[in-house]
Chain A
Amino acid sequence: MIFQKINRDDPEKVFIVVKNSWDTATITSGMAVQWDFTADVDGVGVTQPTARSTNAGIAAAGICVESILTGDYGLVQVYGYHPSVIMKCSTDGPAGGLGSPLAINAAGGTWDVETFFTSTNSAAGTVMVQPCGFLLSIFSSWTTSRVKMFVKAL
């Protein structure tokens, strides 16, 4: 676990070391990853998110900050500002505004975070979702984009 202290405009952050247990490809900076609770199950391996219904979002490990080859080890950010996180707005979720809470994507199978409904004023009804941070950009499209995010995945 690495703690970066503030240095003028470079904010405080916390990183952990993980293993890329996704055997298909390298994971890269900005990708949202999930603890591997189906194969490795050791608290070291992270992989591509599964459907959020399997874990309500709490299995989010954090945001990858460097390229990590398959089976190799590298850094994931678990706290603090990240300037380039992969994000999209869920088709049945709200637009992303400044401060919008973000969670691992609902469908699974992609490496992004999404907005989600936080009240019963929605077509989807209330489902308890654990966020992993909040949005520091404005973005409203289903097509993924890079956004600023404050990560809270500890």
Chain B
Amino acid sequence: MIFQRVNRDDPEKIFIVVKNSYGTASVTNGMAVQWDFLSAVDGVGVSIPTARSTNAGIATAGIIAETIAANDYGLCQVYGYHASVIFRAGTGTSLAGNLGSSVAINQAGAVWAVETYFTSTNSAAAFLQIYPCGFLMSIHSSWTTSRVKMFIKAL
């Protein structure tokens, strides 16, 4: 685990070392990854997110901070500001991503993005307990993924 001290405008961050257990390709900066609880199952391997219904979002490992080749090791950010996270607005009429919106690993799985989600019963969707992994510091309202600023809270 690596702790970056604040240095004026460079904020405090926490990184962990993980193994890219996704056998198909590299993972790159800004991708949201999930602990691999299906194959590696060792607290080291991370992989592509599965459907959120499998873990309610708590299996989120963090946001990749550098390119990691398949089966290689590298840094994943678990706390603090990240300037370029892959994000899309969750499906639903009131799920636009605004400044401060809490975000979680994507609902459908099989993509490397975080999403907004419903936080109250005043919604079309059934209320579900979901564990967020941070909040937005950008505005983005589309289902199409984009790079956004985010504060990560995935410890």
Give the contact-size bracket for chain B.
35 or more
Q: How far apart are A140's CB and chain B's nearest CB, in angstroms? A: 25
Please tell me if the beta carbons of A37 and B151 are within 8 angstroms of each other in the complex. Answer: yes
| Contact residues of A between 17 and 61, Cβ < 8 Å to B | 17-18, 35, 37-38, 41-44, 50, 54-59
Decide if the interface of chain A is mainly helix, strand, loop or mixed: loop
Please tell me if the beta carbons of A41 and B155 are within 8 angstroms of each other in the complex. Answer: no
Give the contact-size bracket for chain A.
20 to 34
The answer to whether A126 and B102 touch (CB under 8 A), given A17-B5, A17-B6, is no
Q: How far apart are A146's CB and chain B's nearest CB, in angstroms? A: 26
The answer to whether A54 and B149 touch (CB under 8 A), given A16-B12, A128-B130, A154-B155, is no
**Which residue of A56, A59, A127 is within 8 Å of B151 (Cβ)?**
A59
Q: How far apart are A20's CB and chain B's nearest CB, in angstroms? A: 13
CA separation between A127 and B129, bound complex, in Å?
10
Please tell me if the beta carbons of B80 and A43 are within 8 angstroms of each other in the complex. Answer: yes
Closest 8 CB pairs of A and B: A43-B81, A43-B11, A55-B100, A17-B6, A128-B119, A54-B100, A127-B120, A58-B102
A and B contact pairs by CB, cutoff 8 A, 28 listed: A16-B12, A17-B5, A18-B6, A37-B99, A37-B137, A37-B151, A41-B99, A42-B81, A43-B11, A43-B80, A44-B6, A44-B8, A44-B12, A54-B98, A54-B100, A55-B101, A55-B102, A56-B102, A57-B102, A59-B100, A59-B135, A125-B120, A125-B122, A127-B120, A127-B121, A128-B119, A128-B130, A154-B79
